[in-house]
Homo-oligomer: A and B are copies of this chain.
């Protein structure tokens, strides 16, 4: 059965971007430190990245086997919509508060309800997993109870400020650590979301 899996590079103090992130600076001030172990061949977005370390490379390779992408609008816009093709032409479901007048590029579509977005992404992914992008979308999925797993790459740095991965999440969500590994330069933690009381 298809699962929704969040892939994130985060600082130890829980920031996925530094302050003042925007279209021209997707990771904010100082946030590029989080992607030190990624190599960007093409446009500056994770879909085009490779990892320098073996464990990170395995994480990236797994993410790229996903059958659909579920992303927040901010992440989508910052990445230039991945030119409409995140990887292998899989459907890109973009969670947005309001649908723009201009249709999205390529394989993307806009959805305004998080449960509907999750359902469409799973349907589109078939028997493969859904790659979830973006802190706001992750928080929305957590609040809606539709996030299945998290693959977190914890970079050994404190950023002190910026965009938090877990900023507005429901109280007391139990997790299960299913895997951990040290890559050079970071620790990889994989969790299953068991459920909340929130």
Task: Spell out A's residues near B (CB within 8 Å).
Answer: 12-14, 18, 30, 33, 142, 154, 156-161, 165-166, 169-177, 180, 182, 185-187, 189, 191, 196, 198
Question: Whole-angstrom distance between the alpha carbons of A185 and B182 in the complex?
Answer: 18
- Given A156-B177, A159-B172, A180-B187, 10 more A-B residue pairs with CB atoms under 8 Å apart are A14-B14, A14-B166, A18-B171, A156-B176, A158-B166, A160-B171, A160-B173, A161-B171, A187-B187, A187-B189
Are A156 and B191 within 8 A (Cβ)? yes
B158 near A173 with CB under 8 A, answer yes
Copy count, this protein chain? 2
> Is A158 a contact of B180 with CB atoms below 8 Å?
no
Q: Name the residue of chain B whose CB is nearest to the CB of A198.
A: B160
List the B side residues contacting A185 at CB < 8 Å.
Answer: 177
Given contacts A166-B12, A166-B13, A187-B189, contact A157 B173 (CB under 8 A): yes
